[in-house]
């Protein structure tokens, strides 16, 4: 019979993951480094989590999330371009790839992560589409939840490929979305 999980050891590993993300970035995180920082053995970590991506998923679910500064101006095109740019740095791409891996291997955790991590983009999209409808930029029949899903999917696809979108693609994607929702 396996030993029960020590809650203090689990919390120490999750905190070590959050600290490593802040200081070094996801790509630099190693199981060895997490074990050392948490004061546990590598065997303990491997017994509880199948990968560093799984640790990341749990750490993000239970910890505070980095604030995402999403634009809300009078220029919908600029706001969309800025949204794609926010998702476009190398560290965000690495994190997104790890989260895609977690989602693929643990659907339940993936659903919970999606609910938590996608919420700011869904909320932003709902408010931004409502403002766009009120200003006459966006058709009244545009469903904000569908637009939010597409914005998240476009960013996720870039992460899945492992490359930032780049400014040219961000501009092209923004134009494509605008053509679909504009009055």
> Is residue 28 pLDDT above 70, yes or no?
yes
> Is residue 136 pLDDT above 80, yes or no?
yes
**124 and 58 in contact (C-beta within 8 Å)?**
no
> Is residue 88 pLDDT above 70, yes or no?
no
- Give the model's pLDDT for residue 77: 93
Residues β-bridged to residue 132? none
> Is residue 177 pLDDT above 90, yes or no?
yes
Residue partners of 164: CB distance under 8 A and separation at least 6 = 88, 89, 90, 93, 158
- Which band of pLDDT confidence, cut at 50, 70 and 90, is reported for residue 2? low
Q: d(Cα 102, Cα 87) in Å, to the nearest integer?
A: 19
Average pLDDT, the chain: 86
> Is residue 140 pLDDT above 90, yes or no?
yes
- Which band of pLDDT confidence, cut at 50, 70 and 90, is reported for residue 133? very high
Residue 41 carries which DSSP code?
-
- Give the model's pLDDT for residue 66: 63
> Is residue 54 pLDDT above 70, yes or no?
yes
> By percentage, how much of the chain surpasses pLDDT 70?
92
Residue partners of 152: CB distance under 8 A and separation at least 6 = 118, 121, 122
Q: What is the mean pLDDT of residues 89-117?
A: 78
Query: Which range among 18-22, 93-97, 156-160 shows the weakest confidence by mean pLDDT?
Result: 93-97
Give 22 or 72, the one with higher predicted confidence: 72
């Amino acid at each position: 019979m396996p030993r029960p999980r020590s809650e203090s050891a689990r919390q120490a590993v999750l905190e070590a993951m959050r600290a490593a993300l802040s200081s070094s970035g996801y790509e630099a995180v190693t199981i060895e480094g997490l074990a050392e920082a948490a004061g546990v053995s590598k065997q303990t970590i491997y017994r509880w989590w199948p990968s560093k991506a799984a640790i990341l998923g749990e750490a993000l679910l239970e910890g505070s999330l980095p604030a995402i500064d999403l634009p809300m101006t009078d220029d919908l095109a600029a706001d969309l371009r800025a949204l794609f740019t926010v998702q476009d740095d190398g560290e965000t791409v690495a994190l997104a790839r790890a989260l895609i891996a977690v989602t693929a291997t643990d659907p339940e955790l993936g659903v919970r992560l999606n609910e938590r991590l996608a919420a700011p983009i869904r909320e932003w999209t709902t408010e931004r589409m409502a403002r766009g409808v009120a200003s006459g930029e966006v058709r009244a029949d545009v469903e904000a939840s569908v637009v939010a899903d597409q914005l998240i999917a476009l960013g996720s696809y870039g992460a899945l490929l492992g490359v930032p979108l780049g400014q040219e693609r961000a501009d092209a994607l923004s134009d494509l979305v605008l053509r679909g929702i504009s009055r």
